[in-house]
Amino acid sequence: MGSLSSIRCRCGHRIRGRDVLQRGYYLSNWEPMYVYLKFRCSNCKMLGEKIVDYGDWDDAVLEDGETAPQVVRDRSQRVTLGPITVAEVQEFGQRVARLRRADVEALRRTTA
Ligand SMILES: [Zn+2]
């Protein structure tokens, strides 16, 4: 398995197999040296290109499923944080319920 965890667009969106338009291999002495990808980001619709060392490449990088390295890393982070408790959910609900219209507007401005 390669050391590469994911292919990302400049916007930060993760590129998956269905976003890849073209895939090729650069050969040296008939050995693959680099993997070339051309993709269209499904988030920002921009075209992008990526060249990856063949030694770092793993087809799982482009997969959606649980086997993708990115997903595994996320899962370990979740374990460190621990499961979401009922108390946390209730606290979140109370905080949302206390939000005033001005707060929502302020939040919208910071995330825009
Ligand atoms: Zn993008």
Q: Which domain holds residue 61?
A: 7-111
Is the Cβ–Cβ distance between 46 and 10 less than 8 Å? yes
What is the distance in A from the centroid of ligand 1 to the CA of 109? 22
Is the Cβ–Cβ distance between 53 and 32 less than 8 Å? no
What is the distance in A from the centroid of ligand 1 to the CA of 68? 19
pLDDT, tens digit (0-9, with 9 covering 90-100), for 36-93? 999 999 999 999 999 999 999 988 889 875 444 444 455 555 555 667 788 888 887 8
Question: Could you give the CA distance from residue 62 to residue 19 in angstroms, rounded to a whole number?
Answer: 9
Is the Cβ–Cβ distance between 50 and 61 less than 8 Å? no
pTM of model > 0.75: no
* 77 domain residue, yes or no: yes
* 2 domain residue, yes or no: no
Question: Could you give the CA distance from residue 46 to residue 57 in angstroms, rounded to a whole number?
Answer: 23
> Residue 65 has what pLDDT?
55
* 84 domain residue, yes or no: yes
The number of folded domains in the chain is 1
* 1 domain residue, yes or no: no
